Amino acid sequence: MRPRRSRGIVAGMQSDNTFGTIGVELRGAAKSYRTAGTVVHAVRGIDVSIARGETVALLGPNGAGKSTTIDMLLGLISPDSGSVSLLGGPPKEAVARGMVGAMLQAGALIRDVKVRELVTMMAALHPDPLEVDEALELAGLADIAGRRTHKLSGGQAQRVRFAIALVPDPAVLILDEPTVGMDVEARRAFWLSVRAFAARGKTIIFATHYLEEADAYADRAVLMSRGRVVADGPTSEIRARVGTRTIRATLAGVDTTELASLSGVTAADRRGEAIVLICSDSDAAIRALLDAHPDARDIEISSAGLEDAFLELTADPGDAPNHAGQQEALV
């Protein structure tokens, strides 16, 4: 067994590298596939730059190009045009130095091994791995370390994949739809572990179509649709781009046309005693509402979910018509 480096030194080294250094960079990266005579434009030229230590969600519906982007980041495929760099060099170099850990979408775990054997072997392939026990602990596998990989539930298998991704102690951790197959409890535990790992100064990129996950666990979301980046920023900013907050209140006897004309309100609706105001500026709207109708009560102001932002931003009618012989990416 090779000697392990001490945690204290790792923390020091990490913080030197973290500030302002670019961890991941895609410049005009594009990738198409030819399948059955048609060209599938999976990724159509994207620019994304991610600093070291950032946690970024790659968000989008199926076919948005998330997995293809991840394959490019990992050096599994090369872009047709544009460039991809990981930790300042080609992805393959970062991989060869053991700086990258990834949880890929896959059919099954490799068979006929015990969980601990698999994680131990993966550790042995890397120059500076975590202790196997630490990786098993982080992934919540301590109690099933002796089980065979093909006898695990879907959620357990995902945690094994997580342990495999963690055990290299990578500078960059890439997770492709990591919580598929996990129940609510497992999901929460999983994201807690990811957070703990991020706190060590790691760069984390995860693909998901669960909007809550991006919202709750990423510093930033890169929203993809049909092979393009349609929004890139803090999740709160993405929500703001669609710009809606909703005010709900109980207020009898006021006409919806009058409510809709209040400052900052774009639309109003009535449901019995309750009113719903869709706002472009909820701060102005609440002031105007209370000035005009001080008797409004049970007031709630809520953000439109990221779900709404998502639907609005990814439904891009200008992008819809396809050229003859082309087909939208399903990858």
Partner 1 sequence: MTSLAYTRFELVRTFRNVRLLVFSLGFPLILFFIIAGPNRNEHNFNGSGISIPLYYMVGLVAFGAMSGLISSGSRIATERTDGWTRQLRITPLKTTAYFCAKVGTGYAMAGVTMILLYASGLSLGVSLGAGRWLEMTGLIVVACIPFAVLGILLGHLLTADAIGPAVGGLVSLLALVSGTWFPLGSRGFLHDIPQFLPSYWLVRASHVSLGGQAWTAGGWIVIAAWTVVLAILARYAYLRDTARV
Is 70 exposed, middle or buried (CB count within 10 Å of its CB: 0-12, 13-18, 19+)?
A: buried
* Least distance between partner 1 and beta carbon 156 (Å): 16
User: In this complex, which beta carbon is closest to partner 1, that of residue 165 or of residue 279?
Assistant: 165
Smallest distance, Å, CB 59 to partner 1? 20
Which residues, in sequence order, are CB contacts of 52 under 8 Å at separation 6+? 17, 18, 19, 21, 22, 23, 87, 171, 201, 203
The residue among 203 and 235 lying less far from partner 1, judged by its C-beta, is 203
43 binds partner 1 (CB under 8 A): no
The correct pick among 112, 199, 271, 317 for binding partner 1 (CB under 8 A) is: 112
- Cα angle 245, 249, 252 (rounded to 5 degrees) comes to 140
Binders of partner 1 in range 190-219 (CB under 8 A): none
Minimum Å distance from CB 210 to partner 1? 21
Burial class (CB within 10 angstroms; exposed 0-12, middle 13-18, buried 19+) of 253: exposed
Q: Which of 33/280 has CB closer to partner 1? A: 33
Out of 57, 58, 102, 278, the residue judged to bind partner 1 by CB under 8 A: 102
Query: Are 40 and 67 spatial neighbours (Cβ–Cβ below 8 Å)?
Result: no
Among 11, 13, 39, 125, binds partner 1 (CB under 8 A): 125
Q: Which residue lies nearer to partner 1 by CB, 111 or 323? A: 111
Nearer to partner 1 by Cβ, of 68 and 282: the residue is: 68
Q: Helix crossing, 306-314 with 235-242: angle to 10°?
A: 70
Among 124, 192, 315, 330, binds partner 1 (CB under 8 A): 124
> Which of 4, 27, 97, 248 touches partner 1 by CB under 8 A?
97
Measured CA to CA, the distance from residue 221 to residue 215 in angstroms comes to 8
Residue of 10, 104, 267, 274 that binds partner 1 (CB under 8 A): 104
Residue 110 has φ and ψ, to the nearest 5°, of -60, 140
Segment lying near partner 1 (by CB under 8 A), choices 4-12, 66-74, 131-139, 252-260: 66-74
Residue 100 binds to partner 1 (criterion: CB under 8 A): yes
The single residue among 96, 192, 299, 315 that binds partner 1, judged by CB under 8 A, is: 96
Nearest to 279, CA basis, from 316, 242, 237: 242
180 binds partner 1, rule: CB under 8 A: no
> Quick one: which of 20, 36, 111, 257 contacts partner 1 (CB under 8 A)?
111
Applying CB under 8 A, which part among 41-49, 109-117, 204-212, 278-286 lies near partner 1? Answer: 109-117
What residues numbered 292-331 form the site for partner 1, per CB under 8 A? 331
Rounded Cα distance, 261 and 247, in Å: 14
Q: Which residues bind partner 1 (CB under 8 A)?
A: 2, 67, 71, 74-77, 95-98, 100-102, 104-113, 117-118, 121-122, 124-127, 164, 168, 331
